[in-house]
């Protein structure tokens, strides 16, 4: 569905026409551009937009199917950029990603949103409060969406860092190892980091191309004066990727530490069990010997044999207990 349609002239908003071709014609006549925002459009709805703005069929197919990696593609009549905004849910400690597809032409911007994580409404309101920036044309919209998306990455990375610190504290509790559910929490956290990486990692190359075309040549429909701004966004996403890499390495180290603690705890338990078993074996052996039905056992006819054996077993038990205790087995 079409969420918003507006024409922008010299940074000022004017409501768009219901007929998209009329809106585009008015925008071109006034030296402005038209910005159309769509949310989960149907194939029929998007075909209408694609025909009016001459969007490439391959890019249209990607926009309808979604589930794309961040990428930048250039076509004869438009530029196609895919971003993956992320949302952090503090109650469930989960990261989910949406998608924003941006079609950029000489006098139009078409944004297609999938999921709930796209900051497009806030970006539009921000640009409308900054007419000087909006007057730069479609490039300003492209920059503002990319900048808002990457800035939100930084917020999510900070939230994940806080969660990791709590998880680290739980693993390294004084009693050691955390609860029996700690391993599952660590694996779940690692999956959230992986989901985050899928959104941030592939974005480096498209932003680098916008900031510095290099051997690829000039990016069409993007004002060269905007390169420093895209370079700033590229620096931010690089910092995010470094944070994600650090989180991933640290969570792997925490998992290894947790498994090592579990192994040490199991070994300690086995040592204690072995110690108690050894203490139980001494009286079992003695009583087993005197449970055999031999005719010639001198101790059987001794008056103090029973209390003597009880005292012997007690002394041996005390000696074994002190020995195991001194060595830390009990």
Q: How many angstroms separate the CA atoms of 134 and 126, rounded?
A: 9
Is the domain spanning 2-262 CATH 3.30.460.20? The answer is: yes
Q: Left (φ > 0), alpha (ψ -120 to 50) or beta: where does 177 sit?
A: left
H helices within 54-137, ranges in order? 57-65, 120-128, 131-134
Q: How far apart are CA 105 and CA 166, in angstroms?
A: 47
Polymer length of the chain = 330
In whole angstroms, give the CA distance from residue 176 to residue 183.
13
From first to last of its 330 residues, the chain has per-residue pLDDT tens of 677 888 888 888 887 666 777 778 888 888 889 998 888 888 888 888 888 888 999 999 999 888 889 999 999 889 999 999 998 887 777 888 889 999 999 889 999 998 766 668 888 889 889 988 888 889 999 999 999 999 999 999 998 888 888 888 877 765 655 566 777 888 888 888 898 999 999 999 999 999 887 666 678 888 888 899 999 999 999 999 999 999 888 888 888 877 777 777 777 778 788 778 877 887 888 777 777 776 667 777 777 777 887 888 888 888 888 887 787 777
Q: Three-state DSSP class for 277?
A: helix
User: Quick one: DSSP state of residue 304?
Assistant: T
**How high is the pLDDT of residue 101?**
93
Three-class DSSP category at 273: helix
Q: How many CA atoms lie within 13 A of 195 on its CB side?
A: 18
- Cα atoms in the Cβ-side hemisphere of radius 13 Å centred on 194: 7
Neighbours of 192 (CB within 10 A): 24
Q: Which residues are bridge partners to 162 per DSSP?
A: none
Question: Looking at the domain that runs over 263-326, which CATH code has it been given?
Answer: 1.20.58.340
**What pLDDT does residue 180 have?**
62
Domain residue ranges of the chain, discontinuous segments joined by +: 2-262, 263-326
Q: What is the maximum alpha-carbon separation in the chain? A: 124
Q: Tell me how far apart the alpha carbons of residues 198 and 194 are, in angstroms, rounded to a whole number.
A: 6
pLDDT recorded at residue 181: 73
Compute the half-sphere exposure of residue 138: CA atoms within 13 Å on the CB side of its CA: 25
Nearest residue to 158 (alpha-carbon basis) of 90, 81, 232: 90
d(CA 28, CA 23): 9
H or E element, residue 154 = helix 138-171
State residue 101 phi and psi, 5-degree precision.
-105, 130
pLDDT at 88: 85
6, containing H or E segment: strand 2-9
Sign of CA dihedral 249, 251, 257, 259: negative
Domains 2-262 and 263-326 share a fold: no
Check: CB of residue 138 under 8 Å from CB of residue 105. Answer: yes
Q: How far apart are CA 247 and CA 157, in angstroms?
A: 9
**Is residue 267 within 8 Å of 177, Cβ to Cβ?**
no
**Spatial contact of 198 and 192, defined as CB atoms under 8 Å apart:** no
Beta-strand pair 108-114/99-104: antiparallel
Nearest to 142 by CA among 213, 236, 220, 62: 220
DSSP 17: P
Nearest to 34 by CA among 133, 104, 109: 109
């Amino acid at each position: 569905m079409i969420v918003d349609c507006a024409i922008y002239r010299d940074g000022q908003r004017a409501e768009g026409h219901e007929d998209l071709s009329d809106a585009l014609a008015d925008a071109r006549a006034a030296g402005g551009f038209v910005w159309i925002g769509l949310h989960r459009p149907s194939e029929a709805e998007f075909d209408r937009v694609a025909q009016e703005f001459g969007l490439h069929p391959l890019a249209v197919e990607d926009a309808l199917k979604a589930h794309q990696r961040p990428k930048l593609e250039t076509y004869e009549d438009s530029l196609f950029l895919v971003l993956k905004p992320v949302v952090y849910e503090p109650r469930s400690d989960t990261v989910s990603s949406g998608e924003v597809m941006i079609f950029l032409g000489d006098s139009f911007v078409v944004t297609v949103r999938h999921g709930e994580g796209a900051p497009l409404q806030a970006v539009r309101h921000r640009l409308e409060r900054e007419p000087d920036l909006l007057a730069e044309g479609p490039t300003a919209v492209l920059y503002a969406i990319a900048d808002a998306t990457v800035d939100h990455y930084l917020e999510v990375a900070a939230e994940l860092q806080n969660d990791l610190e709590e998880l680290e504290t739980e693993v390294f509790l004084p009693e050691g190892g955390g609860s029996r559910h700690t391993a599952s929490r660590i694996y779940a956290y690692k999956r959230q980091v992986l989901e985050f990486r899928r959104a941030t990692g592939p974005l480096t190359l498209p932003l680098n191309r916008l900031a510095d075309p290099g051997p690829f040549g000039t990016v069409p429909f993007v004002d060269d004066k905007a390169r420093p701004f895209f370079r700033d966004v590229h620096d931010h996403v690089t910092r995010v990727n470094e944070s994600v890499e650090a989180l991933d390495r640290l969570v792997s180290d925490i998992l290894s530490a947790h498994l090592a603690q579990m192994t040490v705890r199991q070994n300690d338990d086995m040592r204690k069990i072995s110690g108690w078993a050894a203490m139980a074996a001494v009286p079992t052996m003695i009583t087993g010997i005197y449970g055999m039905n031999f005719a010639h056992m001198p101790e059987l006819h001794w008056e103090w044999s029973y209390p003597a054996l009880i005292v012997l077993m007690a002394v041996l038990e005390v000696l074994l207990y002190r020995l195991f205790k001194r060595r830390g087995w009990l």
